[in-house]
Amino acid sequence: MEDRRKDLELLEKIAEGSRAAFDRFYEKYAPMVYHIALRIVGDEVEAEDVSHDVFLEILQKPHQFDPKRGSVQAFLAVKTKSRSLDRLRKKRDLLVSRLEEAALTEKGAEFDFLRQLEQQVIIDALTHLPEEQRQAIIHFYFHGETQREIAAAMNKPLGSVKSLIRYGLRNLRKQKELFHWMEAGRGEEQHEA
């Protein structure tokens, strides 16, 4: 009980800006936080980064701790686990992104031929769209602009841009060449039906 009261006092003093209180809190709980992070992320540098993030958040938001919901140790353990899992997800997402990028930049002759053929089919299909639908789709899918950015660039309401993209995609699907190209990727059985 005494320990819990001291933790609450430290957090109150941290909220008031006491560097000494933060240092005492850090010394008391840093080994525990680091150990939990290391068990989850499996890397010393990553575990140090997670620990840093956890204590930085304590420094910035010491009132997040609610004594009615449990002990400071449990609070820190949950926070550390959450930050550790976030870091693992970011690493995984970065790895997936790099693998996808590597696949897209692969230079095999077959890959280049298929990519050129796919681009030609899409370009041909786009030329059959009404001008505003074509512009909206190019801005959205090829330039990576948000619908708000497109609305500003085309001087149109956001709802109109959303409709242009939706109708443009619907018109693309209706085009026979693109439809057959997409169906070819789904398997031989569908061509025979």
pLDDT tens digits for 51-74?
999 999 999 998 888 888 888 999
Query: How confident is the model at residue 105, as a pLDDT?
Result: 57
Instruction: Say if CB 65 and CB 75 are below 8 A apart.
Output: yes
Query: How confident is the model at residue 35, as a pLDDT?
Result: 93
Query: How confident is the model at residue 164, as a pLDDT?
Result: 92
Work out the average pLDDT over 102-119.
59
DSSP category for residue 141: I
pTM of structure: 0.50
How much of the chain exceeds pLDDT 90, in percent? 34
Which among 145, 179, 181, 177 is positioned nearest to 161, based on CA atoms?
145
Amino acid at 155: N
**pLDDT tens sequence across 2-38:** 788 888 899 999 999 999 999 999 999 999 999 999 9
Binned at pLDDT 50, 70 and 90, residue 191 comes out as: very low
Please report how the helices 109-127 and 176-184 are oriented relative to each other, as an axis angle in degrees rounded to 10: 150
Amino acid at 176: K
The more confidently predicted of residues 115 and 77 is 77
Residue 99: exposed, middle, or buried by beta-carbon count in 10 A (0-12, 13-18, 19+)? exposed
Query: How confident is the model at residue 67, as a pLDDT?
Result: 84
Query: How confident is the model at residue 108, as a pLDDT?
Result: 54
How much of the chain exceeds pLDDT 70, in percent? 75
**Taking the alpha carbons of 151, 154, 160, 163 in that order, is the dihedral positive or negative?**
negative
> What is the chain's percent helix, strand, coil content, to nearest 5?
85, 0, 15
Is residue 1 over pLDDT 70?
Answer: no
d(CA 7, CA 73) in angstroms, rounded, equals 10
d(CA 85, CA 88) in angstroms, rounded, equals 5
∠ Cα 170 174 175 (to 5°): 125
Query: How confident is the model at residue 85, as a pLDDT?
Result: 87
Binned at pLDDT 50, 70 and 90, residue 139 comes out as: confident
d(CA 90, CA 95) in angstroms, rounded, equals 9
